[in-house]
Structure 1
């Protein structure tokens, strides 16, 4: 696979009726688009997979992209050197 180029196959997409559970490839692509690396995507995916894609109160995640953006924002806030590399804006 070429760096920076991803191809999604039919079996790479995970769908559920009431929740939006992504596969690892989708998370990696989203993090890459936002300027974060493969390690960050892996950490986020493992953290939420371990929780079975539920929030802090046990409620199923309905929008994983919103959770990912919140995770990225907190990561940037705690590590200022990431701000120059990523495309998120912190006020």
Structure 2
């Protein structure tokens, strides 16, 4: 087995295969829709960071993407709870 074949799917293959991204997001409890949004966003930006540096490990970037989504959901939930407490 070649080195490239052995690391395929481990986060080092840029760009990754969409199916690998979907599997990763599924393992993290996220939807296929979120996986596709991440994939298409990164693809449109050439798999580079906001500062223009090429992404070396897409799973690190995906983990941050997922964390941002979860944080946003938590804040939204907290706002709803706080509104209900004020009623």
**TM > 0.5 fold call:** yes
Report matched runs for 1:1-91 at 5 Å. Answer: 20-21=13-14, 22-80=16-74
Q: Which has the higher helix share?
A: 2
RMSD, aligned CA:
2.0
Q: Name the structure 1 match of 2:81.
A: none
Query: Is contact 1:54-1:61 (8 Å) kept?
Result: yes
Runs ≥4 residues deviating over 2 A: none
SS at match of 1:59: coil
C-alpha separation between the residues in 1 aligned to 2:13 and 2:47?
Answer: 9
Q: Give TM-score, length-normalised by structure 1.
A: 0.66
Structure 2 residues not aligned, in runs of 5+: 76-87
Q: Give TM-score, length-normalised by structure 2.
A: 0.69
Query: Is contact 1:20-1:63 (8 Å) kept?
Result: yes
Query: Rg larger in 1 or in 2?
Result: 2
Structure 1 residues not aligned, in runs of 5+: 1-9, 82-91
How many residue pairs get aligned? The number is 66
